[in-house]
Chain A
Amino acid sequence: MTDLTALTIAEARDQLKARAITATELTSAYLKAIETANGALNAYIAVTPDKALDMAKASDARLAAGKAGALEGIPLGIKDLFGTEGVHTQACSHILDGFKPHYESTVTSNLWADGAVMLGKLNMDEFAMGSSNESSYYGPVKNPWRANGSNADLVPGGSSGGSAAAVAARLCAGATATDTGGSIRQPAAFTGTVGIKPTYGRCSRWGIVAFASSLDQAGPIARDVRDAAILLKSMASVDSKDTTSVDIAIPDYESIIGKPLTGLKIGIPKEYRVEGMPEEIEKLWQQGIAWLKDAGASIVDISLPHTKYALPAYYIVAPAEASSNLARYDGVRFGLRVPGKDIVDMYERTRASGFGDEVKRRIMIGTYVLSAGYYDAYYLQAQKVRTLIKKDFEDVFHAGVDAILTPATPSAAFGIADQDLASDPVKMYLNDIFTVTVNMAGLPGIAVPAGLDSRGLPLGLQLIGRPFDEETLFQTAYVIEQAAGRFNAPKWW
């Protein structure tokens, strides 16, 4: 029998519908793969085999009755940021020790309503703060990819590092993820997978542990563009419990795949050519431009003049929102409590021991920029710059550009415990230089694998679209995927 974990979601869906395989067989194959690989990769921090098999059995019954949903019997991994009823939900933080919500996030509810099966919860940077998955309380995730001829462990990117690694290593058919500054797209690029951050408001944020509420957005990481389209259609919804979720019809994203690019105008922003960027990435970008041109798109040079200010503005806005969102972890209502001599001492000890260094750093920055006397100089200035960043994109779209092509990351995956990055937090932040503009402007962005570097590591390209025009991103990313081919990590684990 062929390895069932090799099937894409689209392929598995067709075989399940044709009754060539059962959901129970498919789920069992994934559970076995997790059992074999997770010790080495650390992608899952909680596996739910009983729940998975129960859900698969129910899927088989619905398939037999001809009542299959869009994702019937498809086994998925869920980022630990999503609230899952009765199941480990800790944002990979010590401060949420033992937290098992009595509710289900809207995004995961949508997936289960469509018949998907939950395999378990995936590792991530603590509270989604990080670009390497090294800030997780549960330890780093290993990237299934290694450089040619090397045994050195690489990071899968972050914060959705567990999601990206699990998809790349075939430990789930697809995964949920979230993206506040690049946390879907950067790990997708580092692992040769496809990740889309939809427009702000496309997916409900209800039941997802909050990091920076004006930037957070859920999206899928998948093996290919079609699978990402299938997953996003199920994840997206308007929700009365999230007032920022929008009531705009959700298109059948899959149906746009394969449509020619004739008539599309793709913008190439000169500001994304940054100093110190490896030549290989520039080459890959040029290759992407050539592929889109060959497919009938017209290419135009554009300018997004405030690009360089997106990352500094982000490191004011996101920590400010985080310091306020994370105020709720006080040792009273959930998770960890460290006793103290009075209530304030209890708060301070609980938060000192419950939060990791990166989370503390961001809470401190956020508290400082919001504190009396500094609000105007930092926060207000950053929110004004954010208006300008968004206007850059609006001007370009107004001039007729349909989508923007950029590199996804300024480098390929780097080593676990990289000393150079550990010594300077700002260096780690630079990983998000190409992705963070998209969150600041609330736009959709997709990362798609486009090639391997000279060491054999995956590199991705990013496409940025108009608000709520995820369709054009799937359509265009598919052309890149067809031209570049698919990339699978050679199995060493």
Chain B
Amino acid sequence: MSVDISTVKRVARLARIAVSEDDATRMTGELNAILGFVEQLNEVNVDGVEPMTSVTPMAMKKRRDVVNDGGKAADIVANAPVTEENFFVVPKVVE
């Protein structure tokens, strides 16, 4: 399978990465090179093979459903580009 430039632009939109016309052209070639390389996986017979979900067999560890951490709002917003009173500030999303 290969991608065309309109697919590349659509994927860039899904990935939330702005691309120029030149970027999209270049990326189309690069992505097709990678997709061409991974194509060989289709040769492998995977009949009856389960997809890997965990590389080491393990049961998911669970903890008690209790609050065990918190009260760190100031720490959490400390690295944000724009904040106000421990809230993240974003451009207006609702008119």
Residues of A within 8 A of B (CB): 98-103, 199-201, 214, 240, 243-244, 246, 306, 308-309, 311-313, 315-316, 323, 327, 330-337, 339-340, 342-349, 351-352, 355, 360-361, 363-365, 367-368, 371, 374, 377-378, 380-388, 390, 424-426, 429, 440-442, 467
A363 and B15 within 8 A (CB): yes
A371 and B30 within 8 A (CB): no
If A240-B61, A387-B49 are given as contacts, then 9 extra A-B residue pairs at C-beta distance below 8 Å, sorted by A number, are A214-B54, A316-B41, A351-B17, A352-B17, A367-B11, A385-B44, A385-B46, A386-B51, A390-B55
Q: List 16 A-B contacts (CB under 8 A).
A: A101-B79, A200-B55, A246-B56, A323-B15, A331-B81, A333-B88, A337-B81, A337-B82, A347-B16, A351-B16, A352-B19, A364-B8, A368-B3, A368-B11, A371-B11, A388-B44
A384 and B81 within 8 A (CB): no
- Within the complex, the shortest CB–CB distance from B80 to chain A, in Å, comes to 5
B79 and A334 within 8 A (CB): yes
- Give A327 to B61 CA distance when docked, in angstroms: 25
B41 and A382 within 8 A (CB): yes
Interface size class of B (residues with CB under 8 A): 35 or more
B55 and A243 within 8 A (CB): no
Binary A-proximity of B32-60 (CB < 8 A = 1, otherwise 0): 01110111111010100111111110101
Known contacts A201-B56, A385-B46, A388-B46; A367 and B51 CB within 8 A of each other: no
- Give A360 to B28 CA distance when docked, in angstroms: 12
B8 and A100 within 8 A (CB): no
B55 and A364 within 8 A (CB): no
B17 and A332 within 8 A (CB): no
Q: Find B52's partner among A332, A343, A387 (CB 8 Å cutoff).
A: A387
Known contacts A382-B41, A384-B49; A335 and B91 CB within 8 A of each other: no
Main secondary structure of the interface of A (DSSP, over half): helix
- Within the complex, the shortest CB–CB distance from B77 to chain A, in Å, comes to 8
A467 and B31 within 8 A (CB): no
A361 and B27 within 8 A (CB): yes
- Within the complex, the shortest CB–CB distance from A243 to chain B, in Å, comes to 5
- Give A360 to B38 CA distance when docked, in angstroms: 18
- Within the complex, the shortest CB–CB distance from A52 to chain B, in Å, comes to 24
